[in-house]
Amino acid sequence: MIFVDASAMIAMMVGERGADALADQLEAEQQRLCSAISIWETIAGLSRTYAFSPQSAEVQVRSFMELNNLQLTSIGDRELELATQAYAAFGKGRHPAALNMGDYFAYACAKTNGATLLFTGNDFAKTDVNRGR
């Protein structure tokens, strides 16, 4: 099982460096998860960095989800608890990982579901999340 962070979705959607390796990791997993927060972050990132309109970004993200059989996982009490713990342990100003709000919930969703976290960058590599790399 794999949980796809917004950073990985954006990288694969726009063909950033390393996108092929991310796509291979995603393809290797039968169960593929994301959350409403990771989807929102992807839409915002595409709009901010790649000049998509929010509406166009949403259409592209939903198409990516369908093409890659990404399933939304819900965010509930356990995810809130783990996101709060991630904030305390790995948040900006607290830890070199310097996670942000979206990162806390990606971390929590991966942990709650026993999933590998698919991401780009070095932030999550400084945490205890299963990164399968």
58: domain CATH number is 3.40.50.1010
Strand partners, 4: 118
Residue with the two structure tokens 């972050």:
41
Q: How confident is the model over 8-24, as a mean pLDDT? A: 97
Q: With bands split at pLDDT 50, 70 and 90, how would you rate the model's confidence at 33?
A: very high
pLDDT at 92 over 90: no
- Determine the Cα–Cα distance for residues 41 and 46; give it in Å rounded to an integer: 9
- How far does Cα 124 stand from its chain's mean position? 10
Q: Which domain holds residue 21?
A: 2-126
pLDDT at 133 over 70: no
34 domain-assigned:
yes
121 domain-assigned:
yes
pLDDT of res. 132 = 66
91 domain-assigned:
yes
pLDDT of res. 93 = 81
> Which tokens belong to 119?
């991401």
Average pLDDT of the chain is: 95
Q: How confident is the model over 88-115, as a mean pLDDT? A: 93
Is the distance from CB of 8 to CB of 65 less than 8 angstroms?
Answer: no
Domain count within the chain: 1
95 domain-assigned:
yes
133 domain-assigned:
no
122 domain-assigned:
yes
Residue 72 phi, psi dihedral angles, 5° rounding: -75, 135
